[in-house]
Amino acid sequence: MVDEALAAAHPGARQRERMTLATIPGLPPVLACLALFLAWDLTARAVAIDSLPSPWSALKEVPAILGDGEAIGNIFASLRRMAIGLILAIVCAIPIGLMMGRSRAVAAFCNPLMMVIYPVPKAALMPIIMLWLGVGEAAKILVIFLGVSLPVIYHSYQGGRAVEEKMLWSAAAMGMTARARLFRIALPAALPEIMVGVRTGLVLALITMVTSEMIARQNGVGNILFNSLDMAQYQTVYGMIIVIGVLGFVLDAAFQMLRGVLVAWAEPAQPIIVGST
Amino acid sequence: MSGFGIGALKSYPCVEDQDLPDQDLPAGIIEIERLSKVFDTAHRDRHLALSDISVTVADGQFVSIVGPSGCGKSTLLYVVGGFVQPTSGRVQVMGKPVLGPGPDRGPVFQEFALFPWKTVLGNVSYGLIEQGMARREAEARARALIELVHLKGYEHFYPKELSGGMKQRVAIARTLAYGPSILLMDEPFGALDAHTRTRLQNELLEIWERDRKTVMFVTHSVDEAVFLSDRVFVMTRSPGRIKSIVDITLPRPRRRAELLVDRRYQDYVVGIERQMDDPPEAGGT
């Protein structure tokens, strides 16, 4: 029985012994970055225009950006509104998606709405939202909120739908009410799938954040990016793009760590694919 | 004022209990009367899954339901569990109509249906904590049950780290934990290999011999049904009906090795297989 359990616990134990270049932690992403910079450098040399500086001059701008108090303030302003939009969206979207997944009536009502709203680029709504809410914080948070909500709703819906009925029956036999089953059984059971949606949502939050800031320019990374562009400070533009890229990478890595802790119990079933919407 | 109160109280004992026909109730802990279940299928024709079923299960009896796949035997179990509503007819458990699931009827499913985010200990103590028991006490009881199903040492394992047989042991312990008077077992050993299956059959009988809870056990394996049960309901396919009821009078405690060479056991198995829709050579497992 012990052997049985060990075999079940470590299905990948045997593969893990093989060590290649690709299995050294941290190496593949570094190699990928180097390859990207190399391609960029070659292209920049070939076209030789002002608006495409070499990656090395762009990289040199990064410490300058990070050393500038005003730029740091902008970055934190961006992260703050992104976090608010993200958290609000997660809090609202998960219950909606779960209820859609567990109730055919709710799904029949919400699904068409979702399918209409999902493909609309949320940043395209920015001008209208600015008419309602002005150019301030609220408009940007709302756009981020909309951008994040849909993938989270969608994956919560799929996750909720896939919850094994017998698991809910087992809970019902213990005397759990429908509400308790939704939040204490369906929610954790669907969590691995919900996490896929939240990861997509995180990337989308970053994208809509930058886009909203470039439309309603006040502060934030999108603002720096496009002000520099207006002033033809191309090194700063590309330096900022690198900062945003690294920001996305770090946020995603942090999220993956969180996800590893929250759903460590899950069977390794769902490979995570980041949506492109 | 006080005299009025006493007078009002006194009027109660006269009507109490007298009208309730306790004696008329059969000894059945589960009574199923004229039960039918119709499913609406995708192509709009209606599928009669259960047709006019009337059976009674006595308290403390181990009853198996056998039949070919698609005969509605699991559906019958789900109706008793309150998970599926019947189209017509009625089901009573301990004299009360079944309105929904409840802790008096504990299910065990072929799919285990464990909570994967909970450890073995978390799964087994879940029902007790849900019923308001303090965590410490619930976990102490859960530990005893985990030992009963031979999983001592695995308290902090997650379901994904367990084999199928071990998962089903956890599921059985989880259901026993909250003390249902009836166990509803839906092909609980159907997903296990032959060796594990035999072991779990023996373990289940050992556990059952301790307190003789009422068990409704659905299986497609005739020899499993004969080995475990006091009584076997044989069902036929489309529409699902009870074809016959066979009382298994083999002595207990039962030992598999002795039964396999016992003529009476063999006769039960062959007799029931003949009654099933499937040809006998395809029915036995």
Segment A50-63 shows an average pLDDT of 90
**Is the per-residue pLDDT at B19 higher than 70?**
no
pLDDT winner (highest mean) among A133-137, A242-246, B156-160? B156-160
Q: What ipTM is given for this predicted complex?
A: 0.87
The DSSP 8-state label assigned to residue A51 in this structure reads T
What would the pLDDT profile of B185-205 be if each residue is shown by its tens digit? 999 999 999 999 999 999 999
- B-chain residues near A166 (CB < 8 A): 107, 109, 111, 113
The pair of three-digit structure tokens given for residue B148, joined into one six-digit string: 């009963």
pLDDT of residue A22 exceeding 80: no
Q: How confident is the model at residue B95 (pLDDT cuts 50, 70, 90)?
A: very high
B44 φψ region: left (φ > 0), alpha (ψ -120 to 50), beta (else): left
Looking at the domain covering A53-262, what would its CATH class be? mainly alpha
Q: Is B255 helix (H, G, I), strand (E, B) or coil?
A: coil
Q: Which residue has the tokens 């005969």?
A: B71
pLDDT of residue B277: 56
Q: Residue B48 forms beta bridges with which residues?
A: B38
Neighbours of A265 (CB within 10 A): 18
pTM of the model: 0.84
Interface touch B165/A185, C-beta < 8 Å: no
Region B18-27: mean pLDDT is 47
pLDDT at A140: 92
Determine the pLDDT at residue A17: 53
- Cβ of B161 and A172 within 8 Å? no
Distance CA A30, CA A187 (A): 37
By C-alpha distance, which of B112, B221, B109 is closest to B166? B112
* φ, ψ for residue A35, nearest 5 deg: -60, -40
Tell the burial category of A51 from Cβ atoms under 10 Å away from its Cβ (0-12, 13-18, 19+).
exposed
pLDDT value, residue B280? 42
Please report the DSSP string for B172-188 in residue order. HHHHHHT--SEEEEEST
Between A7 and B110, whose confidence is greater? B110
Average pLDDT on A33-39 reads 92
The answer to whether residues B269 and B226 touch, using CB atoms and an 8 Å cutoff, is yes
Closest chain B CA to residue A188 = B117
Chain B residues near residue A8 by CB distance under 8 angstroms: 160-163
- How close is the nearest chain B Cα to the Cα of A25, in Å? 25
Close Cβ partners of A11 (under 8 Å, ≥ 6 residues apart): none
How far apart CA A206 and CA A222 sit, in angstroms, is 10
Alpha-carbon gap: A160 to the closest alpha carbon of chain B (Å): 14
Looking at chain B, the whole-number percentage of residues with pLDDT higher than 70 is 87
Contacts of B111 in chain A (CB under 8 A): 164, 166
For B103, the closest of A8, A175, A263 (CB atoms) is A175
Inter-chain contacts counted by CB atoms under 8 A, chains A and B: 87
Whether B195 contacts chain A with CB within 8 A: no
Share of chain A above pLDDT 70, in %: 90
Q: pLDDT for B41-54, tens place per residue?
A: 776 677 888 999 99
pLDDT tens track for A193-231? 999 999 999 999 999 999 888 888 888 888 888 888 899
CA separation for the pair A135, A88 (Å, rounded):
20
Looking at the complex, report in whole angstroms how far the Cα of residue B268 sits from the nearest Cα belonging to chain A. Answer: 32
pLDDT score recorded for residue A20: 73
Kindly compute the dihedral angle of the four CA atoms of residues B142, B144, B147, B152, in this order, to the nearest 10 degrees. Answer: 60
Half-sphere exposure of B228 (CA within 13 A, CB side): 36
Q: How far is CA A78 from CA A130, A210, A276, B181, in A?
A: 17, 8, 21, 59
pLDDT at A9 over 70: no
* Residues B242/B232, Cβ–Cβ less than 8 Å: no
Residue B148: predicted pLDDT: 96
Cis preceding-peptide flag for B253 (omega within 30 of 0): yes
